Structure 1
């Protein structure tokens, strides 16, 4: 199983997919974190041929009605809507049916050639009465361990996305962490003290003009692998040394966003400003 190195560099693209026909930028990055469903296996193979490790993103804690396996979720397993995301609902992560769907996603990650999985929304316990299921941190710990064990069957590494309250209980379970906005959410960065594994840290800005002061603030923790991104998580990225790059991407716009009051015109994660 791949164990990323502390300090390794990352590019994170969850809106659109990497354009395999364009020259790759940045050319010296260690890892690309990309969408599991939208990214073809051929693109993953291209990245790996250039010595890049590939993390594959999917939501493990919510249903998204634009995903191809969305109809597999039982209605009884879908809970409260995420106010920011039309078409997205918290899942009952205690459900065996939910886990079975995630197991298929993990196999898909293996079949496509991913080196690791980046499962999102593991912190349902802290949202809307546990998503409507009274989920607890113990539920999140158990779910994280089950997903990691399933990933290990395919020799896939796994990260913990946010969910900082459970870090001490799963440090020996995951191979890395992904954090969004721990600088913006004052005090959250300290939760990784003693983690001892890579923390891929992203802070969001509203424009591509990033001041040196903002970079100093975002990059204060030298143990983190920090990037600054637009909240759309497209191809643009800025690193702590002040360098920027724009990965050429192909836009994807599948249908969805009907549940929870959405208009159902496009994938809401491409149409709205917000973290994916």
Structure 2
């Protein structure tokens, strides 16, 4: 038998094994989003925890022992100045650009630079080694921001879509699930490359966006949402905008990603609410 044929079969089987082994969240799972703050696992009620990839192996193991699934966060569109690998990013000519005005400790990345990919892949490999169940890669909507539009050669929508597809493919090659963070402009184009989605404030915006996940949800994929600055302030909007969709929502009382929060329960918090799971 041809050696190259055997090799291709083995590669295909390995790919299938990765798909089958990869954890995929299901619609209706509860979640909590905690960045920059500690987690008291003894009081945590959510089934899924989204925390920074910098968490130690021991901490992630503790979460697993408590029955939690763990999503590990890092930014793929900006460089955060507290990352241990930041010097590697600065070493790539033209990669690190201007400051992200909303977050003064972050700088935009030119995601078109080929030398970015091994750096991001290494972060994914770190998540795999730490036994994270999934990753969240933030700031994939860079082309929409004025700071990036001001570049002589600004990023385009197509640039971000290409990057997102590469992220999804690479995560899956490593056997780990990946969630699409915000970036609704590309949800339909890249949905096949992502296992779930994460959204900020889809029900709290002046023009709500939760309904834009309908096609993604129809694929049976989970959407985890977060609403900031108070449950009572947005309860009515949440009941209206989440009705029939199947989005899992955590509500924080402030803009901080502390552990405290309210897990939205439409049947408890609303009248005539349809949880709308598509699984």
Q: TM-score, normalization: structure 2?
A: 0.79
Runs of 4+ in structure 1 over 6 Å off? none
CA distance in structure 1 between the aligned counterparts of 2:106 and 2:187, rounded to whole angstroms: 25
* CA positional deviation for 1:95: 1.1
CA distance in structure 2 between the aligned counterparts of 1:158 and 1:102, rounded to whole angstroms: 13
CA distance in structure 2 between the aligned counterparts of 1:47 and 1:41, rounded to whole angstroms: 10
Structure having the higher helix fraction is 2
Match of 1:24 in 2: 42
Of the candidates 255, 259, 265, which is equivalent to residue 241 of structure 1? 265
Q: Contact 1:125–1:131 (CA<8 Å) still a contact in 2?
A: no
> Gapped runs of 5+ residues in structure 2?
1-21, 269-279
Q: Contact 2:204–2:237 (CA<8 Å) still a contact in 1?
A: no
Q: Contact 2:204–2:234 (CA<8 Å) still a contact in 1?
A: no
Match of 1:55 in 2: 71
Q: Alignment partner of 1:172: what SS?
A: helix
Match of 2:215 in 1: 194
Match of 1:44 in 2: 60
Structure having the higher strand fraction is 1
CA distance in structure 2 between the aligned counterparts of 1:169 and 1:131, rounded to whole angstroms: 26
Is 1:169 aligned with 2:186?
no
Q: Contact 1:122–1:140 (CA<8 Å) still a contact in 2?
A: yes
Q: Contact 2:99–2:107 (CA<8 Å) still a contact in 1?
A: yes
Is 1:226 aligned with 2:249?
yes
How many residues are treated as equivalent by the alignment? 234
> Gapped runs of 5+ residues in structure 1?
244-276
Larger relative contact order (C-alpha < 8 A, sep ≥ 6)? 1
CA distance in structure 2 between the aligned counterparts of 1:12 and 1:113, rounded to whole angstroms: 18
